[in-house]
Structure 1
C-alpha cells in the first residue's frame, strides 16, 4: 500500500535528474547492491523452458515441471494457449499509460493513501515506513479476481481499449494459472485439482511495473530481493533485461523471451509442498540507458484459507538435524506481513513461520523429482525404528483381517552375505520404512509372523534376493507373495498366448506400461549410479531425503499395480503365480535340509483339476556345477543358458557374484525341469 502524503513517482525523479545522482532514499545498502548493471550481466545459467503443447508426453511434461520447481522455483512456458496478440496488447497499453499520458492524467489514478489496498498508480507498494529504502519503480496495480474486487472506474480510460485488454488478459492468465497449478499438483503425485482446491477462491492481481532508466544503476534496485507471497505469479516482460532470479547463491538474469510466459512459484507453493518445491527469490535491477516494463499476474489464496503442507516432514526432510514441518499458514492481509528481506512470514504474535529455504543445508539432502500418478492419494510416510510404530494388524496376522501390502527391501549387496538396511511396507493409507539399521535385528524379527503369514499378501517385484536376505540374515521364510514380475509374464501369456521369461519386465518398465501406471521413473537410474559410486549408500543414517524418496517410490505404486493385475488374471494364472512366487522365494535359499522347513506349495484347485486344460505341477530343481565350470555352463554372454531356456518351458537362474556360485536353479513344470536338468548335465559332461 502507499504511505500517507503526496505520491512520489520514480518516473518524475528520473526525468528531472536524468544526469544527476539518485536520491538517498533509493540507494541500497552495499550488501544489496547489484554487482553489475543489467547490460553487463552475464551468466551461464538459464531458467528452464517448458513446452505446454497438447501433444507432449504427459509423463515427460510432469518430470520437467518437477525438476524446474525443485531446482529453480521458476520456468518459462511456451505454447501456453494465451493469444500472442494479447501479450503484445497488454504491454502496449501499459507502455502508453506510463510514456504517453501526462503526469496530471496519471495522477487521477493514484493509489488511495488511506486504503490498505494498493490498486492504482503508485511507487511504494508494501512500504510501511517513511525511512525504508525504496524501489526504482512505478506501477499500476489492478484487482481482477474475484470479479467483485474489480473497480474499473479506477482503471485508465486511455487508451480506449485499456480496460478491455486488462479484463481479457486477466481471464486468460487465470485459465493458464489453473492449468499450471494442475500440472504442478500432478508432478507431486497429487490429484490435479489439489492445489487449486487448497487455494479456495482465487485472488488475482495484475501489476504493470515501469522501471525508468536510472543514472546510478549500480546503487539501486528496481525491485528488492523477495519471494512472492501467493501460489504462482505469471510474468511477461519487454525486451529489456532486468529481472534476476537467485540460483546457487548467485543472481541469474532472466533473459526476456518473446511471447514466453515466466512462471514464478510463491511461498504458498513452498508451504503446501513442505519445501519440496521452493519459492523463487528474485529481484529487478536497473540500467542507465533504457526504461523497462513488465506485467506480473499474482494468484493468491482466499483470505480465510489455511495453507497446510500436503506431506509429512520426514517425507521431505528426514535428516534429524533438519527435520521440520512448515507451519500451516492463515492467509490474511490483516494477520501476516511479508518480510521483504527473505522468505519469512512474521505473524502479529511475533512468531516466525520458517520456509524450507531457511533450513541449514545438509550433505545428505538431495532434491529429486517425484514420479507421479494423479489417481494415487497422498499418504504419510513413517520411518520405523520400533515395532510399536507398525500397525497391530500387520504384527499380528489374522484370518479375520487379511491384508495386501506392497513390499520391498533395500540393502548393501542384498543377498545372504550382504546387509539388509530398510524394509518398505505400503498400506493403502500409509507407507512404513522399517529401518533395520536403527531398529536392529529385534525390529526385523518382529515382522517375521507377517512376512511368513498366508493371511498377508506381500506385493513385490522380483522377490528372489529379498527372500534370500531375509532367510539367511533373520531366518524369515518369505511367504504368500504376489510377484508383479511373474504376474506380468502370466498376463502376457494369458492375453496374447506368447510365453515370455518371468524376468522379462523390469520395475521401471512395469511402471512405464500405461496399462498399470504409465509413469517415467528416471530417478531409479540416479540411485543406481550412487550405489555404484558408494555401495554403502543404504547404510548411512539418518536417512537422507533421497533415500526416503527412493525407498518410498519402490513401493508406493505396488498396490495400484496389484489391483490392476489381479482383475486381469484367471484362476489358472493366479495358481501359477502363487506357486512360482513360492518357488522364487526359496530359489536362492538352498540349505542342506532341501527346503524342508518352508511352507508347502499351494495345491492345484479342484476346479482346475477337473478341467481338460489342468495346469502341470511346478517344481524347483537345484543343479550342482563343478567348481570353476560355471562360465562354460553359462556360455558366452549367456548363450548356453538362453538356448536351454528356449528349448525348455522353464526358468533358469544362476547365483552369480552374490552366490551361491556353484548352483543353477531351474523352475517350471516337472517335465520341462527334468529336460533342462538333462541338458545341463550333458553340457557338464562335455566339459570334462
Structure 2
C-alpha cells in the first residue's frame, strides 16, 4: 500500500479537469485519509529559504532559542519549546519546535478580547529574515488549503465553497516547524519523534525534508510516507471526520526517531474558525463509531460547543505546564 499522489494543478487553475482531481481526492480520503499533492505552485525558492533559516535557528544555542520560549507568547500560544516538553498521549516527543499562527497586532479585536491562540508571533532577533519568510510561506500554504478543501467539497457532491462559507472564511491557522534530532536508539526503544495520534482540525498540509520517518496506520499495518520532491502531504483532521459522519476518517500517524540526521518538518494546520460549531454535513450516512479504535478512545462526533473549545481541551494536554495560559 502506498499513499496516492495527486496533481492538484487543475484545481489551482480551475480547469475542466477539476472534478477528476476532486474524485481522486475523495477516494484518497475514504481509503487512506492521507495523500500527496503536487502542482500546488508554492514557490520553490521560498521553501528552500524556509528550510535554510529553520536549520540556522535550531543550530543556535539553547539560551538563544529560549529567548522566544512559548511562555513568552502567553495566550497566543507561540514560540519555541525544547525537546521533551511537548507530549503525545502523555509521553514526551523527541523533538523541538516553534509554534506560529496568524500574525495579529495588539489592536486586533480578537487580541483585545484576549482570545486564546490569537496574537503576535515570536521571531528570533538573530535571524531577521525569519519573520517575512515564515509569514510568506504561511500565506502561500493558506491558499493551497482553500484549493484542497474546494476539491474535498466537490468530492462530497457539495458546492466548492461549502467549507469556505461555513468554516474557513477566517480559518484558524496553526503552523509549526519541528526539528527531530538525530537519535541513536536500540531496537526495543519505545521512544518516538511523535507518538500515535490524529490531528484535530480540518486539513493538515505537511512539508517534509528528505529524511523520512512519517508513518500512517492503514487498518492494522503501518506504512511509510517517504519524502517526494516538491510535494506536500495532506491528511484529514478530526473535524472533517466529524463533518462527514466518519466517511472521511482522520487517520492515525506517528514519526519514527531518526538515527542518521536531524529531521525538519513543517506542518500547517488548516482549521475551522475558532468560534464556529462544526456540524455533520446533511445527507451523508453516519458511519460506525470508531472510538474504541481511536488513540484517545474519544468520539469526534459527540462533543458540543465551538471548535475553539474542542481545540483548547486538546492543546492543554500537549503542554500541561502552559495550560493555564490558554484555558478559558
Give TM-score scaled by structure 2 length: 0.80
**TM-aligned CA distance change 1:186 to 1:170, over 3 Å:** same
Cα shift at 1:97: 0.4
Question: Structure 1, residues 540-596: CA drift from partner, whole Å, max 9, x if none?
Answer: xxxxxxxxxxxxxxxxxxxxxxxxxxxxxxxxxxxxxxxxxxxxxxxxxxxxxxxxx
Among 176, 181, 194, the alignment partner of 2:162 is: 194
Cα shift at 1:215: 2.3
Among 63, 67, 89, the alignment partner of 2:27 is: 67
Question: Structure 1, residues 64-91: CA drift from partner, whole Å, max 9, x if none?
Answer: 0110011111111111011111121211
Residues 246, 288 of structure 2: 8 Å contact kept: no
1:338 aligns to 2:314 (yes or no): yes
Q: Which residue of 2 aligns with 1:213?
A: 182
Among 55, 77, 85, the alignment partner of 1:118 is: 77
Question: Structure 1, residues 229-249: CA drift from partner, whole Å, max 9, x if none?
Answer: 111111011100111111122
Q: Which residue of 1 aligns with 2:2?
A: 46
* Alignment map for 1:376-395 (pairs within 5 Å): none
Q: Which residue of 2 aligns with 1:455?
A: none
1:161 aligns to 2:161 (yes or no): no
**TM-aligned CA distance change 1:249 to 1:145, over 3 Å:** farther
Q: Which residue of 2 aligns with 1:284?
A: 255
Question: Structure 1, residues 477-530: CA drift from partner, whole Å, max 9, x if none?
Answer: xxxxxxxxxxxxxxxxxxxxxxxxxxxxxxxxxxxxxxxxxxxxxxxxxxxxxx
Question: Structure 1, residues 167-194: CA drift from partner, whole Å, max 9, x if none?
Answer: 1001101111011111101110011111
Residue 178 of structure 1: SS of its match in structure 2? helix
Cα distance between partner residues in 2 of 1:252 and 1:332: 32
1:266 aligns to 2:266 (yes or no): no
Cα distance between partner residues in 2 of 1:340 and 1:190: 34
Among 131, 134, 139, the alignment partner of 2:97 is: 139
Question: Structure 1, residues 33-67: CA drift from partner, whole Å, max 9, x if none?
Answer: xxxxxxxxxxxx22110001235722321110110
Q: Which residue of 2 aligns with 1:299?
A: 270
**TM-aligned CA distance change 1:298 to 1:125, over 3 Å:** farther
**TM-aligned CA distance change 1:169 to 1:224, over 3 Å:** same
4+ runs of 1 displaced by more than 6 Å?
A: none
**TM-aligned CA distance change 1:98 to 1:336, over 3 Å:** closer
Cα distance between partner residues in 2 of 1:114 and 1:88: 27
Cα distance between partner residues in 2 of 1:277 and 1:335: 20
Residues 18, 151 of structure 2: 8 Å contact kept: no
Cα distance between partner residues in 1 of 2:209 and 2:40: 18
Cα shift at 1:158: 3.3
Structure with larger RCO (C-alpha < 8 A, sep 6+):
2
Question: Structure 1, residues 583-631: CA drift from partner, whole Å, max 9, x if none?
Answer: xxxxxxxxxxxxxxxxxxxxxxxxxxxxxxxxxxxxxxxxxxxxxxxxx
Cα distance between partner residues in 2 of 1:126 and 1:215: 20
**TM-aligned CA distance change 1:196 to 1:327, over 3 Å:** farther
* Alignment map for 1:347-426 (pairs within 5 Å): none
Cα distance between partner residues in 1 of 2:193 and 2:2: 21
**TM-aligned CA distance change 1:69 to 1:241, over 3 Å:** same
1:326 aligns to 2:301 (yes or no): yes
CA-based RMSD of the aligned residues comes to 2.8
Cα distance between partner residues in 2 of 1:287 and 1:79: 29
Give the number of aligned pairs: 288
Residue 66 of structure 1: SS of its match in structure 2? helix
Cα distance between partner residues in 2 of 1:325 and 1:308: 11
Cα shift at 1:107: 1.2
Residues 200, 311 of structure 2: 8 Å contact kept: no
Cα distance between partner residues in 2 of 1:220 and 1:318: 32
Residues 308, 328 of structure 1: 8 Å contact kept: no
Residues 232, 269 of structure 1: 8 Å contact kept: yes
